[in-house]
Amino acid sequence: MAEKGEDKLLTSLNLSCPLCLEVFKDATLLTCGHTFCRKCLQNYDETHSELPDMVCPLCRLPTKLEEDRVSGLPANVTVNGLVEECRSPNEGHGSLEDVFKCTACEFGKDAVSFCISCSHYMCEDCHGGHCKLITSFFKGHQVVSLDDVKEKNISIDELSYKCSVHKRDDKDLFCEDCKMFICYKCTIVGHRGHIIKNQPDVENELKGIVDRLITRCDSNIASLKLNIEVIETKKEGVLDAAQKLRADVMEAVHGKINQLQEDERMLLGQIDALQERCDGDLDALREYDLQRINCISRSMTMMQDGIKTRHLEMDKLAAHSIVCEELDNLLLETLDDTSATDIVESVQEVRFLPTDDMHQEIGQFSNPSCRVLSKFELPKHIQGMVKKTINSVVIAQYGGQSVISIDSNGEKQDMQKLPSMFYYDIAFQSRSKMVVSSNSYYEIHVHAKDGSRLATMEIPRGGDYPRVSIGPSDEILVANKSNQVFIYESSGQTLTHTVPTASAPKQAFATMSGAIVTSSCDANPSVVQVYDRDGRAGEAIRASQGEYLYPAVDSKDRVFIARVKKGRVQIALYELEGLDLRKKAQFEEQKVATGSNACYLVCLSRSMLALASGCWLYFVKVPYI
């Protein structure tokens, strides 16, 4: 009984976590000022572990995380003190027995009533003084006896849902635009023209969303588990291919064992390294699917726990709405059911080529080739391009009034929710937001998933229309053929970095490590160079006369560079060493359409690239290295 009394008091004092809806346990403070249970923040952080910052579930402002992440955040000493004080035993009584303390004075006596208008518990003395001034200072205030509250078996929360502006009116309406509860008068004063819903409708709608998401979660988890089983079978394929290679090697070594033992060890070591790398890559795919299952399950649990509460209010409803939206975006992520097959094929395509000369080395391994899987001609030149899934892109065409998506099979789809305008370049943020540049040297627009415009960014003018890309923390990178790269925070409202550059880049991409890969594209000379955010540069990669360089960065910070010259393109793979790019592999030349040196390269997966050249779009398969 005492515990029940404590919970009512703590809840009435707004000492409950917006995520778990329970009384704060180890209250932890974010830099934005919002407070949550430390355990709730740890669970929330596990679903966003790839980000360097924590985005507040309520206001979306970032909080910088140190190496120990949530454990390093400061405790909210004031809130923890209030919780402890409310739960401390009352001297002179064996138990609390639903005892509330007066909050209208400093003496801490037992409360006998509660003023809904003042939101204060009152002892007998304060109750008497309040009643004497009921016709003047406290006219219209509603005071209830705590004995009546206990007899009716209701909570103070149910009596105190009053509007802070219109004191006598209940906040029984929900503003969809502002994500807050209001009274009926507020719909006229401060929320005219907004979408207004009744509280029961909001609760039913959210419960319906949760039910549908749970169904999708179950289906998604089942698909991921099935994909994990497929990955396990693919590992057997790697083992079989590796064993066949060993047999080929041993057969060739049989007649040369005395002279070529060192070669034998080298070749077998290469096979072991190949198998180890492929096994490691398959294990990484499996772990990624398991991580997605855990993220989906945790988010689903948070929703289910939250929806069970009797009342969904203000910050709690807003937090759960955001969790639902993030889970919806997580479920939209394409299932990667092709990378495992690519890994196995990369091993199976390797051949051992023995030599007939006894005085030469035993032999060597063949390497899989780079090839064009499919190509499509579009009506107009492709200006901008961004990855959509592991086998599709979204493109903007010269002079086009819309953007379209197209996959490696040629299936096209208009992005109909976006407004009709000139699109020059495009990029996707999290939560399906799109950043676009148009035929303006000064403006970039941010659009929501439904196509509505969220923000317009004003940028310094450069020598060309701006190109955009998105960094690992959703920051927006802008290059416009000036001697600098502009980095804006995720909303596009604040310029956080201006990176000085030696050349005038037309493209800039952020790596997971924070470095910036730039390219001057079809300018002369064409240069690819890596910078840190203070403007320090690595060694530049320069094109020959009449040759142009176009880079793409994958999720592992590997950099593909396409060298385009007179209808031919050669793609090479580089790895970052500090701020320098070191070539790891170079693939065979491919023919592309002539007539335009303006190209665009996008990395779709570890073994799939998309290359735009003029009006042509190519999907290129590269060896899985």
Q: Tokens 């060890």 correspond to what residue?
A: 265
The answer to whether 291 touches 333, Cβ cutoff 8 Å, is no
Q: What angle in degrees, to the nearest 10, is found between the helix axes of 261-307 and 199-253?
A: 170
Cα–Cα distance, 49 to 60 (Å, whole number): 16
Give the pLDDT confidence score for residue 41 in this predicted structure. 92
Give the pLDDT confidence score for residue 277 in this predicted structure. 83
Segments of the chain assigned to CATH 3.30.40.10: 2-165
What amino acid occupies position 350?
V
Q: Provide the token pair at 105.
A: 């004075």
Give the model's confidence band at 370: pLDDT under 50 very low, under 70 low, under 90 confident, else very high.
confident
Question: What is the Cα 508 distance to its own chain's centre?
Answer: 20
Give the model's confidence band at 384: pLDDT under 50 very low, under 70 low, under 90 confident, else very high.
very high
Cα–Cα distance, 36 to 502 (Å, whole number): 46
Q: 358 pLDDT exceeds 60?
A: no
Give the pLDDT confidence score for residue 95 in this predicted structure. 34
Q: State which fold the 2-165 domain adopts.
A: Herpes Virus-1 (3.30.40)
Give every CB contact of residue 277 below 8 A, 6+ residues apart in sequence: none
* Secondary structure letter of residue 542 according to DSSP: E
Residue 114 backbone dihedrals phi, psi, to 5 degrees: -140, 130
Q: Provide the token pair at 544.
A: 């020959």
Segments of the chain assigned to CATH 1.20.140: 200-365
* Secondary structure letter of residue 111 according to DSSP: P
Average pLDDT, the chain: 83
HSE, side-chain direction, 13 A CA sphere, residue 585: 15
> What is the value of pTM for the model shown?
0.61
State pLDDT tens for residues 170-201.
778 888 888 778 888 888 888 888 988 888 88
Give the pLDDT confidence score for residue 569 in this predicted structure. 92
* 493-496: long-range pairs with CB below 8 Å, 24+: 493/455, 493/457
What is the CATH architecture assignment of 371-621?
Answer: 6 Propeller (2.120)
Cα–Cα distance, 51 to 512 (Å, whole number): 9
Give the model's confidence band at 90: pLDDT under 50 very low, under 70 low, under 90 confident, else very high.
very low
Strand 443-447 and strand 434-437: the pairing is antiparallel
> Counting Cβ atoms within 10 Å, is residue 466 exposed (0-12), middle (13-18) or buried (19+)?
buried
The answer to whether 214 touches 324, Cβ cutoff 8 Å, is no
> Counting Cβ atoms within 10 Å, is residue 161 exposed (0-12), middle (13-18) or buried (19+)?
middle
Cα–Cα distance, 273 to 179 (Å, whole number): 55
The residue among 31 and 155 whose pLDDT is bigger is 31
Reply yes or no: is the peptide bond before residue 525 cis, omega within 30 of 0. Answer: yes
Q: 3 pLDDT exceeds 60?
A: no
Q: Tokens 């309406």 correspond to what residue?
A: 173
Give every CB contact of residue 20 below 8 A, 6+ residues apart in sequence: 37, 40, 302, 305, 306
Give the pLDDT confidence score for residue 146 in this predicted structure. 83
Taking residues 223-227, report their average pLDDT.
92
Cα–Cα distance, 212 to 220 (Å, whole number): 12
Give the pLDDT confidence score for residue 96 in this predicted structure. 35
Distance linking the first and last C-alpha atoms of the chain? 65
State pLDDT tens for residues 321-343.
777 777 777 777 777 777 788 78
Q: 36 pLDDT exceeds 60?
A: yes
Residue 262 backbone dihedrals phi, psi, to 5 degrees: -65, -40
Q: Tokens 């003395």 correspond to what residue?
A: 125
CA distances, 364 to each of 263, 265, 275, 346, 356 (Å) = 10, 13, 16, 16, 12
Segments of the chain assigned to CATH 2.120.10.30: 371-621
Residue 578: CB atoms within 10 A of its CB come to 13
Give every CB contact of residue 109 below 8 A, 6+ residues apart in sequence: 101, 102, 123, 124, 125
Q: Residue 434 pairs with which residues in a beta bridge? A: 428, 447
Cα–Cα distance, 558 to 149 (Å, whole number): 65
Q: 544 pLDDT exceeds 70?
A: yes
HSE, side-chain direction, 13 A CA sphere, residue 554: 19
Give every CB contact of residue 408 below 8 A, 6+ residues apart in sequence: 373, 374, 391, 392, 608, 619
Cα–Cα distance, 273 to 256 (Å, whole number): 23
Strand 599-605 and strand 608-613: the pairing is antiparallel
What is the CATH architecture assignment of 200-365?
Answer: Up-down Bundle (1.20)
What amino acid occupies position 474?
D
